Structures are given as structure tokens and as C-alpha cells.
Amino acid sequence: MTTVMGICRSFRDRAFARFFHCFPCLSDPARRSSWGLKVTLVMLHLIFVGILFVFDGDLIEKTKKEPWYTALYLLLLLATLVQYFITSGSSPGYVVDVMRAVNETNVIYQKSSMASKQPASSQNGSLNVVIEGSQSGRNFQGSNPSSWTKLVMDMYPPGTSIRSCTCSYCNVEQPPRAKHCHDCDKCVLQFDHHCVWLGSCVGQDNHCKFWWYICEETALCLWTGILYIMYLKANISRPWWKDAIMILLLIALSISIIFLLLLLLFHSYLVLTNQTTYELVRRRRIPYLRRIPERVYPFSKGICRNLYNFCCVRSSIYSLEPLPSSQELEEK
């Protein structure tokens, strides 16, 4: 019996080894968990939509008469899933990437005489780092480019210790609004939160993508809920168990709609005031926000400018925001 169990374990281990050799991305337990959540989310979408088409004969007839209606609904479903994978696969904006871009630019400047007005970028020119001043934004890469350490320290008030803004895990200097994520094991620019369903952080580079995903998911759930209600209100004789399944799914869908609507409104508020979830929830624990009154939004530049920076700035541009001066806080 022991020999048989040993042979089975050996066969299982060899099978897993071959599988992970063919799919190395799944060899990491964290990645397997992330992919498991992605598959679960896709299956939930297919179940809620598939049961509707299987049970609702009227919807099939309506599709034959008005195919554009169902086509729009399925297009929204596809767009939502595509937006989900785009968001989950995008980088939130890691501090180490920006630090590397700044240091590469500094090395390039020292080795060659580059134009002083050219924006800072890495060697392949794929990253731009913009330092926003108190009056107007300015590109890193002036007549005298700075190292990453000096660049970060210039964003804090004079006299700030370098030790207080250095991450104890990554050992890199964090600009304001950055935070170390223990799940990703990296420091993230404008850290908002770590999303379990995405399997990654939400930060400066993918917050806009995350907002659009929530918006599309909310619209899809609302449309699906309306179709469920229309099915249950139809005066058609059908088995009781079909109604029971649809009612249970509608209850779950209603809970999801409430959660998504609240989440969409919450993140819309954050966008309009240029805040993050971490800054709002842990405001009293963040040293540079601790003494600022609750109703003062230190990084806000007005609703229109906040919306423009959130929606229209290219993802290849990383914006580093220095802490506002006492005079700016007084004006706010």
C-alpha cells in the first residue's frame, strides 16, 4: 500500500513539474491564486449572462427581431472583461521604475550634452518623469539634473530626515504619496489600495483604468439586473426551480450593484479631490498629512485640473507631487 502511494505521489510530482515547465507563470503560488481569481470572475460573468439566455425565451425572440439590442449588451460584456484584464495586467507605477528612469537620465546627461528642455526619460525614451512645482509643472532634466535621493528630498520640507522617507523594505527613497505594498513587495506611486480581484495594486498608473472598469462593471450589472426583472415579471408558465434560481442570482446581483455603485461614487470623489483611499483612511497615520485639517485637500488643483490629470495624462508620464508649502495650505 505504501509503495502504491509513493508511486502515485511520484507521478503527481512529475506531472506538476511538466505542467509548471510548460507554464512557468503558474509556478508561483501567488500567480496561481491571481489567475484563479481571474478565471472565477470570468466564469461568474458567463454564468449570470448564460443562464439568462438559456432560461429567457423572450430574450432570444427579441434578439431575432432586434439584434442590435443583444449585440450592445454582449459588446458591453466583452468590453468589461477586456477592461478587467487590461487593468489587472497594467503596472500601478512602481517607485523603483521611476528611480531607474531618473538615474539613467542623470547618467546620460553627464555623458553627453543633451538639450536642457528635453523631458526626462529612460534610455529607451518610454518614461517621462514630471516634477510638479508650486506654480507650474516642470520636467525633470534641467541644466543640472539631480540624483534620485536629492530629487525626493526636495519634495519634502527642509530639515526632513532621509531616514524618515526611506522604505525599510525596498531601501529606496519614497516620494510623497508613495507607499510600500506588502502583497506586491514594491513601493507604489500614489498608492490607493491592493485589489484582490485584480491581483495587483491600484496606483498612479492604473487608477484611471480601474475607475473605467468599475464604471463598465456597474453598467453591465445594472443592465443584467433589468433583464432578470423583465424575465421574472413576464406572465409565462415555467418550472418553479427556474424562478428560484433567477431570484437567487438577482439577489446576488443586487448586492453587487449596491457595492459597485458605492465604490464608483467613492472613487469619483477621490478623483475630484485628488486623493487616494490610503490617504483618506489612514490620514492620521501619515506624517505629512497628520497636521492638515480634514476638509483641506493638500494635493487638489481644482476639479477641472484634477479630472484632466486623471483622465488625459499619458500613462508613460509619472507625476511626482511635492508637499505643498504652508502658504499653499493656508490658501486651500
- Per DSSP, the residues of 297-326 read -TT---HHHHHHHHHTS-TTEEEEPPPPPH
Name 35's Cβ contacts closer than 8 Å, sequence gap at least 6.
25, 26, 199
Torsion of CA 305, 310, 314, 315, to 10 degrees: 150
Q: Which residue of the set 165, 195, 208, 221 is catalytic?
A: 195
Catalytic annotation on 195? Answer: yes
Q: Which amino acid is at 17?
A: A
Cα–Cα distance measured from residue 277 to residue 274, given in angstroms and rounded to the nearest whole number:
10
- Sequence length of the chain is 332
Cα–Cα distance measured from residue 56 to residue 47, given in angstroms and rounded to the nearest whole number:
14
Q: Long-range contacts of range 258-266, CB-CB < 8 Å, 24 or more positions apart?
A: 260/214, 260/217, 260/218, 260/221, 261/218, 263/214, 264/211, 264/214, 264/215, 264/218
Cα–Cα distance measured from residue 223 to residue 74, given in angstroms and rounded to the nearest whole number:
11
Which runs of consecutive H residues, i.e. helices, occur in the chain?
Answer: 2-22, 29-55, 57-65, 67-89, 95-111, 148-153, 207-233, 240-273, 277-281, 303-311, 326-331
Nearest to 207 by CA among 290, 51, 119, 319: 319
Cα–Cα distance measured from residue 131 to residue 228, given in angstroms and rounded to the nearest whole number:
50
**136: its cell numbers:** 507650474
Diameter of the chain by CA atoms?
81
**32: its cell numbers:** 496561481
Cα–Cα distance measured from residue 61 to residue 187, given in angstroms and rounded to the nearest whole number:
53
List active site positions: 195
